Chains A and B, each alone.
Chain A
Amino acid sequence: MDLINVSYDSQIPNNVGLSSDKKVLKALEKWHPGYINWWNDLIPQNFQDSMVYLRTAVSVDPKGWAKFDYVKMPDYRWGILLAPAVEGRTIPMGEHLGEPAWQEVPGEYRNMLKRLIVIQGDTEPGSVEQQRFLGLTAPSLYDMRNLFQVNVEEGRHLWAMVYLLQKYFGKDGREEADDMLVRSSGSDDSPRMLGAFNEETPDWLSFFMFTYFTDRDGKMQLESLAQSGFDPLSRTVRFMLTEEAHHMFVGETGVGRTIQATLDAMNKAGITDPYDIAKIRDLGVIDLPTIQKKLNLHYTLSLDLFGQEVSTNAANAFNYGIKGRYMEQRIDDDHKLQNDTYPVTSIKDGKILTEDVPALTAINMRLRDDYVRDASGGVGRWNKLIAKSGVQFEFKMPHEGFHRQIGVFSSVAVDPDGAIVSAEEWAKRQDEWLPTKEDGAFIQSLMKPCYEPGKYATWIAPPKVGIDNKPGDFEYVKLHMA
């Protein structure tokens, strides 16, 4: 790839008239080599040189927005694509309700918008960094391909945010775009901005849990940014959501297939007690109680991403028309919330209570509630798999107060059933609820690569259907073996 004379209009699929926007083109040209370096330093070399069967966004036409083909990841065409403009779109909430959506950044909201975009943007490369070594232990080429698909799309989402920063936020925006490549997941010197994006993703079950629970937070955040009165942000984000759906799919089916492999192995060996952990592990699959612990961990880390239950920043963002609620248009209220209340959990005298607070300040809480509902769907489907197998076990979402570092619950110890317990009690029982070192080591011991087309590691079942309707033995990644 010619890094010097990149032909941007051919290299970057876009529907924003990039070739005629000299200013932004120049900024992107400056930023691009840093991005490519970041990518090259990140992903192990043999994967960089492999041909991966990826989908690439090439248009915003809902009928044919993507095409599938083999591509080397560094040559992936990270496009800048905005959902089609909606004629006459107005600001859907807050004090500017009904005014025409902004096509330029309003000066008074510049800093707040910039901050939201920077925080959103920072998560995108963060997750790629967290997942960088997973290719080495992929349980199949199918899963490896899904990993890389998620990775390149997170990369594209970074591009999308960087485009907004460079196009609309001047010199500050360009500096922030550069900083995106300076911060790095888990780094001491400049970590990613949000805690969950500095945690390791050490194994594939963690990856599936991450894409199911943590990417779902991303989805909720994108959904609320899709409501933004700043139209370019809204359009960018609406298109990102199309891709994000695939990440949830990878997570839900990944966990589901892990469960299926366990159930199949148990039935085959005639084990009915899901808590007969040693025997189940001997079968080379992950026992259900350990999966429950992983669920507990990732779900609660993701809840922390919603921030404080009562938040001035969130109130401001809503009222200013910058960030809405999940499915704002479908909510039947005045969309201003100046006189409404919303129930928020609080802790008083050692009890968990609900109290009504001004709805504006409870925007985070509401989004978290929507998230909890959204996230419980897949858990129900996993339970159906178990029920079908005859094994007596059910996954539970832990209480929202369990294992929390941020918000009202951060000051108390809560067990998964929602009872406040002493800190000592919690510490004593922690190993029953959250993955232990030994659990991690066991899962790690199963993480052996399986690179033969159509074959899968013992601990995970094959998918029901292939990507792009490809047959079971399709070679999703043509590995470069140097």
Chain B
Amino acid sequence: MTKIINFQTDPSQYKHWKVEYDGAVANLFMDVDEDGGLFDGYQLKLNSYDLGVDIELADVVQRMRFEHPEVKVVVMQSAKDKVFCAGANIRMLGGAAHSHKVNFCKFTNETRNTYEAALADSAQNYICAVKGACAGGGYELALACNHIMLTDDSASSVSLPEVPLLAVLPGTGGLTRVTDKRKVRRDLADVFCSVEEGVKGKRALTWRLVDEVIPNSKFDEAVVARAHEMAENSAKADVAKGINLTPLTREISEDAVIYSTVEVTLDRAGRRSTILIKGPTDAAPADMAAFEAMGDQSWMLRCARELDDAILHLRLNEMELGLMEFQTQGDPESVIAHEALMLNDPDHWLSNEVLKYWKRVLKRVDMTSRSLVATVEHGSCFAGPLAELLWSVDRSYMMLEEFDGDNRPMASLTLSAGNFDTYPMGNDLTRLQTRFLGTPEDVDTAQMRIGEALEAGDAEELGLVTYAYDDIDWEDEVRLFMEERASFSPDAMTGMEANLRFAGPETMETRIFGRLTAWQNWIFQRPNAVGEEGALQRYGTGVRGKYNMERV
């Protein structure tokens, strides 16, 4: 894959989705352009999707929060006759490299989580109106909505046919949401996932696979009524107008990607990338009204958008750069001030959206299957939301005391109230709670130090960084770590890091990602699915997959 996958889009460029706004209700239509696939070699028939379709969906969901805060209910539906969505495109999957499949599944999962979370975060509720076949990834699109309405036309059904048809699993949280979210009884779920044609009508309701089954002649009417009723009863505060998300400034060159607040440099020989985040250069806006007047140009929002894009770019377009190094540069107090504006006005809709967006971006960092390291150098600004990066990464290194010939301000890190509840991980704990799972009192100790510029000695003692090194050791220690890291098996690293990162309780979100990693990615490697005679490769040829019948 030499072509660069671009995660930036906007409604004027959509090929596959359209949105119609009807006051507090938005109608989101899936209308996939058969010939609009991201790559050659497949047609997106029957509303099947590839990464390009999902990139647009993610953009829709993001804009719904920022540009259309007046929307309280989003109705996901198909613009095509007789089919809701046939799921991920099988020929695309069959032709894709393993790494692309995995990244595709990860991104689609993140997108599903995003619109599922819109309800919890912003009371923006996604519901789903299913008419026609709703299969595999199509049902997963529906499952991530919070209310599923199915027409009863004795043909429309919901199904997860991956096992019988393709010898793989639903890749976007399907199995987990069936049992954990919809709480379908496990034996019925077993039946459901074994029959290609799925379940329709009343039975789908009885089995809890959908929330409502409606006679076909009344369906459209019922959907509109339900959507408006939900909008009226919504807990979401009225917001007259959103802000526009304008195109990012981004320059992609051979060895760098430069944004206004983020600079990514690529070291292909060293197989690593450096993500430098630059703190705010302007003072924080006076209040949220001033912030809102700046549209998307305030540092907090720009930085989140740019960091998000940078991570996605590296994940999909720079697969061999196995190590990501996070650096920051700027005034920590200024970062704290920008964050404080929102922490102090949490009921303002835009404060809420920006902080929740930071939560999502930081989760995206957590979920990135690269070795992650943060280096806290002099002149850096690991404060508030940027300090979270220190506990998202696998290891962190901090400069201790003055360095010869380095006149930048002394390296420090600054905690804010935000570090103690605003940016929970997928496990619903804060990164500090997860970090100090065995010593919860350390979280309290750290909390006492909010607002202090903590230098390396303190930071190390508080357990907030892995190592603090002085001028004598710094260069060698950091270099040795990076070289060692780059020499390990990438697979072993991915596995080890994922195991260590997500301590603590399970949530549906952690289970979705955990099980995806453990099972789907295993199955995606096995000859029964992807071998030359495997089901995924043979799908569409009429010849069946040949299975090695040994149970492993």
**Which partner residue on chain B sits nearest A112 by CB separation?**
B196
Decide yes or no: A360 and B542 within 8 Å by CB, A182-B154, A189-B152, A190-B153 being known contacts.
Answer: yes
Query: Of B154, B164, B217, B542, which is in contact with the most chain A CB atoms at under 10 Å from its CB?
Result: B542
**Is B224 interfacial (CB 8 A cutoff)?**
no
Decide yes or no: A319 and B154 within 8 Å by CB, A188-B216, A189-B217 being known contacts.
Answer: no
CB-contacts of A305-322 with B (<8 A): 312, 314-316, 318-320
Partner of B154, one of A183, A312, A411: A183
Decide yes or no: A312 and B540 within 8 Å by CB, A111-B197, A189-B152 being known contacts.
Answer: yes
**Which partner residue on chain B sits nearest A316 by CB separation?**
B542
**Is A361 interfacial (CB 8 A cutoff)?**
yes
Decide if B155 touches A318 in the complex (CB within 8 Å).
Answer: no
**Which partner residue on chain A sits nearest B216 by CB separation?**
A189
Query: Of B153, B543, B544, which is in contact with the most chain A CB atoms at under 10 Å from its CB?
Result: B543
- Which of chain A's residues have a CB closer than 8 A to the CB of B195? 111
Instruction: Give CA–CA (A320, B196) in the complex, Å.
Output: 16
Decide yes or no: A319 and B544 within 8 Å by CB, A182-B154, A183-B154 being known contacts.
Answer: yes
Instruction: Give CA–CA (A229, B34) in the complex, Å.
Output: 35
Instruction: Give CA–CA (A316, B539) in the complex, Å.
Output: 9
**Is B505 interfacial (CB 8 A cutoff)?**
no
Decide if A189 touches B196 in the complex (CB within 8 Å).
Answer: no
Interface size on B, residues (CB 8 A): 18
CB-contacts of B180-197 with A (<8 A): 195-197
Instruction: Give CA–CA (A190, B219) in the complex, Å.
Output: 12
Given contacts A191-B216, A316-B544, A361-B541, 17 further A-B contacts (CB under 8 A): A95-B544, A112-B196, A182-B154, A189-B152, A189-B217, A190-B154, A190-B216, A191-B153, A193-B155, A314-B542, A315-B542, A318-B542, A319-B542, A320-B544, A358-B541, A361-B542, A411-B34
**Is A115 interfacial (CB 8 A cutoff)?**
yes
Decide if A312 touches B153 in the complex (CB within 8 Å).
Answer: no
CB-contacts of B142-177 with A (<8 A): 152-155, 164
Query: Of B196, B215, B216, B540, which is in contact with the most chain A CB atoms at under 10 Å from its CB?
Result: B540
**Is A338 interfacial (CB 8 A cutoff)?**
yes
Instruction: Give CA–CA (A451, B304) in the complex, Å.
Output: 81
**Which partner residue on chain B sits nearest A118 by CB separation?**
B197
The 9 closest A-B pairs by CB, nearest first: A315-B542, A360-B542, A188-B217, A190-B154, A319-B542, A312-B540, A189-B216, A189-B215, A189-B217
- Which of chain A's residues have a CB closer than 8 A to the CB of B197? 111, 115
Q: How far is the CB of A179 from chain B (nearest CB, A)?
A: 6
- Which of chain A's residues have a CB closer than 8 A to the CB of B539? 312
Q: How far is the CB of B219 from chain A (nearest CB, A)?
A: 9
Partner of B543, one of A179, A188, A189, A319: A319
CB-contacts of B192-237 with A (<8 A): 195-197, 215-217
Main SS of chain B's interface residues?
loop
Residues of B in contact with A (beta carbons under 8 Å apart): 34, 152-155, 164, 195-197, 215-217, 539-544
**Which partner residue on chain A sits nearest B35 by CB separation?**
A411
Instruction: Give CA–CA (A15, B52) in the complex, Å.
Output: 58
**Which partner residue on chain B sits nearest A312 by CB separation?**
B540
Q: How far is the CB of B254 from chain A (nearest CB, A)?
A: 35
Decide if A361 touches B540 in the complex (CB within 8 Å).
Answer: yes
**Which partner residue on chain B sits nearest A358 by CB separation?**
B541
**Which partner residue on chain B sits nearest A315 by CB separation?**
B542
Instruction: Give CA–CA (A6, B197) in the complex, Å.
Output: 35
Decide if A338 touches B152 in the complex (CB within 8 Å).
Answer: no
Instruction: Give CA–CA (A337, B541) in the complex, Å.
Output: 11
Instruction: Give CA–CA (A188, B154) in the complex, Å.
Output: 11
- Which of chain B's residues have a CB closer than 8 A to the CB of A193? 155
**Which partner residue on chain A sits nearest B195 by CB separation?**
A111
Instruction: Give CA–CA (A316, B153) in the complex, Å.
Output: 27
Instruction: Give CA–CA (A248, B344) in the complex, Å.
Output: 80
Partner of B152, one of A112, A190, A312: A190
Residues of A in contact with B (beta carbons under 8 Å apart): 95, 111-112, 115, 179, 182-183, 188-191, 193, 312, 314-316, 318-320, 337-338, 358, 360-361, 363, 411
- Which of chain A's residues have a CB closer than 8 A to the CB of B544? 95, 316, 319-320
Decide yes or no: A189 and B540 within 8 Å by CB, A111-B195, A111-B196, A115-B197 being known contacts.
Answer: no
- Which of chain B's residues have a CB closer than 8 A to the CB of A363? 542
**Which partner residue on chain B sits nearest A94 by CB separation?**
B542
- Which of chain B's residues have a CB closer than 8 A to the CB of A411? 34
**Which partner residue on chain B sits nearest A337 by CB separation?**
B542
**Which partner residue on chain B sits nearest A320 by CB separation?**
B544
Please list 9 pairs of residues, one from A and one from B, whose beta carbons are closer than 8 Å in the complex, sorted by A's number: A183-B154, A189-B153, A190-B216, A314-B542, A315-B541, A319-B544, A337-B542, A358-B542, A361-B540
Instruction: Give CA–CA (A183, B216) in the complex, Å.
Output: 12
Q: How far is the CB of A346 from chain B (nearest CB, A)?
A: 11
Q: How far is the CB of B167 from chain A (nearest CB, A)?
A: 13
Instruction: Give CA–CA (A363, B540) in the complex, Å.
Output: 12
Instruction: Give CA–CA (A358, B164) in the complex, Å.
Output: 23
Instruction: Give CA–CA (A95, B540) in the complex, Å.
Output: 15
Q: How far is the CB of A474 from chain B (nearest CB, A)?
A: 42
Instruction: Give CA–CA (A189, B215) in the complex, Å.
Output: 6
Q: How far is the CB of A195 from chain B (nearest CB, A)?
A: 9
- Which of chain A's residues have a CB closer than 8 A to the CB of B216? 188-191
Instruction: Give CA–CA (A318, B544) in the complex, Å.
Output: 11
Q: How far is the CB of A135 from chain B (nearest CB, A)?
A: 27
Decide if B542 touches A312 in the complex (CB within 8 Å).
Answer: yes
- Which of chain B's residues have a CB closer than 8 A to the CB of A338? 543
- Which of chain B's residues have a CB closer than 8 A to the CB of A191? 153, 155, 216
Instruction: Give CA–CA (A361, B91) in the complex, Å.
Output: 14
- Which of chain A's residues have a CB closer than 8 A to the CB of B541? 312, 315, 358, 360-361
Instruction: Give CA–CA (A193, B157) in the complex, Å.
Output: 13
Decide if B153 touches A95 in the complex (CB within 8 Å).
Answer: no
Instruction: Give CA–CA (A101, B196) in the complex, Å.
Output: 24
Query: Of A112, A312, A358, A363, which is in contact with the most chain B CB atoms at under 10 Å from its CB?
Result: A312
**Which partner residue on chain B sits nearest A193 by CB separation?**
B155
Query: Of A115, A316, A338, which is in contact with the most chain B CB atoms at under 10 Å from its CB?
Result: A316
Decide if A360 touches B217 in the complex (CB within 8 Å).
Answer: no
Q: How far is the CB of A222 from chain B (nearest CB, A)?
A: 21
- Which of chain B's residues have a CB closer than 8 A to the CB of A95? 543-544
- Which of chain B's residues have a CB closer than 8 A to the CB of A312? 539-542
Instruction: Give CA–CA (A338, B197) in the complex, Å.
Output: 26
Q: How far is the CB of B384 from chain A (nearest CB, A)?
A: 53
- Which of chain A's residues have a CB closer than 8 A to the CB of B542? 312, 314-316, 318-319, 337, 358, 360-361, 363
